[in-house]
Structure formats: structure tokens, C-alpha cells
Amino acid sequence: MKKVKTYRHIFFDLDHTLWDFEKNSEETLVHLFHAFELHRLGDFTLTDFYKKYSYINLRLWDLFHKGKINQQELREKRFVKCLTGLGVAEKDVPEGLSEAYTDICPTKSAVFPFTHEVLGYLKEKYVLHIITNGFKDVQAIKLKSSNLTQYFSEVITSECVNCTKPDRRIYQHALERAGVKASESLMIGDNLEADILGAMNAGLDQVFFNPERKRIPLRPTFEVACLSELKTFL
């Protein structure tokens, strides 16, 4: 393990790093499939619906991160594109489906293994913050539902700063809000571009959270496959 600098503040991504987006989203989609009786709309299964939604949602979020669509477009399009992609006529897409997802999913509480143990440990030594591309209202509910609010001093959302990671302006804003220098800060996240390259370009050291142990083209300051590994060098 490389020698660790003396950090004062640690910035975390939320979705896919602490809050288990995939698990929470899957639970919500299963509920919606049955509640809205989506099986009546065409010849597709719950598995088909989940896979199609995940594919569409991932690509729409990529467009959002690149500034090509806004929050409203993302929310309005994902279920329409999902169901029309499964052969449902656009006029038959149930009203309220997107709103129900937005209401229910953030209330789910699944987090990655060791999340609370590690955050409790780190909070005794550092000041902790969140930097997220998620929407302010939704992220606040996620933090509260999963009992994560208690750990963080500042929660910086792309919606409030009007730019998304990896734009260095969101990192600069976060540093200003925290009153800390980049050289005294560490960013922890799962997204190679948004979290690692973004932090790197803003002068922060980085921890790449890589539970799938993917091979990557960048060399972050640190890399962990489990959050518990943070305790070995922080």
C-alpha cells in the first residue's frame, strides 16, 4: 500500500458507492411491474422489463451527465422508452409510472457491505461530505432512508451547482463549501470518469471503488473492492 497523505476531508459519491442503487432500483421495479400490471401490456416478462429499463436508464443518465438532456426529460423518457422498446404503444404507457418510481425508490435503504461501519470509523478522523450527480430532493430522501445523513457535513448536488461531475467546477464548489484545499482532500467513488477523472482534474486524490474488480485505463491514487479496505489506509 502506498504512503498516505494527511487528509482532512473526504468526499463520497452516493449512488453505486454507498447507497446500493442496483438493489434498491430492482426492488422498486419489481413492485411497479406488479402494481401497474405491466404484464397485461404485452408479451414480456418481469426480467425483460428490468433488463430493458436498466439499459435505457443507464444511457439516459449518460446523456444527462453530458448535458444533452435535463432532469425532467430523463424522468419522462425512461419508462416510455423502456415500454415502447418492449412493444407497448406510447399511448398505453401507464400514467404515474415514472412518478411512482421516483417516489418509491429513494425510500429503499440497502447500502453496500460495511457502509455504516466504515463511515462511523472515518467520521471520527475526517470531515465527510457527499458529491453527487443525483437530484437534490431524491438524494436527501436516500440519505435519510438509509440512515446516512448523520455522517455528512455537506451534500453537494449537481442540481445545486448547475454542472455535473466530472466538471471540475462541482469539485471546486465542494472544496469552497467545505473550506478545504484540494491537496487535503480525497474523493471516493465508483465512476471512473465522473468520480476519478473528475477529482483528478480538480487536484484531489481518489479512491476507485471497484467491487467487480474491472480492469481500468486510469491509475487512481487508491483502489478498493470493498469499503472495509478503506480502514487499512485511512
pLDDT tens for each residue of 135-170: 889 999 999 999 999 999 999 999 888 888 999 999
- How confident is residue 127, by pLDDT bands cut at 50, 70 and 90? very high
138 and 79 inside one domain: no
CATH number of the domain enclosing 172? 3.40.50.1000
Q: What is the CA angle 157-212-184, rounded to 5?
A: 45
202 and 123 inside one domain: yes
Which of 76, 107, 138 marks a domain boundary?
Answer: 107
CATH number of the domain enclosing 53? 1.10.150.240
Task: Mark 56-94 as b/e (b = at least 16 C-beta within 10 Å).
Answer: bbeebbeebbeeebeeeebbebbbebbbeebebeeeebb
Report the mean per-residue pLDDT for the chain: 95
Which of 87, 107, 127 marks a domain boundary?
Answer: 107
Taking 90 as the threshold, does the pLDDT of residue 1 lie above it?
Answer: no
pLDDT tens for each residue of 171-181: 999 999 999 99
Which of 59, 77, 107 marks a domain boundary?
Answer: 107
Give me the pLDDT at residue 201, please.
96
In a domain, 4, yes or no: no
Number of structural domains, the chain?
2
Percent of the chain with pLDDT over 90: 87
189 and 216 inside one domain: yes
pTM over 0.85? The answer is yes
Say if residue 188 is exposed, middle or buried (CB neighbours under 10 Å; 0-12, 13-18, 19+).
buried
Q: Which three cell numbers stand for residue 187?
A: 474523493
Per the model's pLDDT, the better-predicted residue between 15 and 4 turns out to be: 15
pLDDT tens for each residue of 70-117: 888 999 899 999 999 999 999 999 999 999 999 999 999 999 999 999
197 and 90 inside one domain: no
- How confident is residue 125, by pLDDT bands cut at 50, 70 and 90? very high
pLDDT tens for each residue of 36-47: 999 999 999 999
In a domain, 190, yes or no: yes
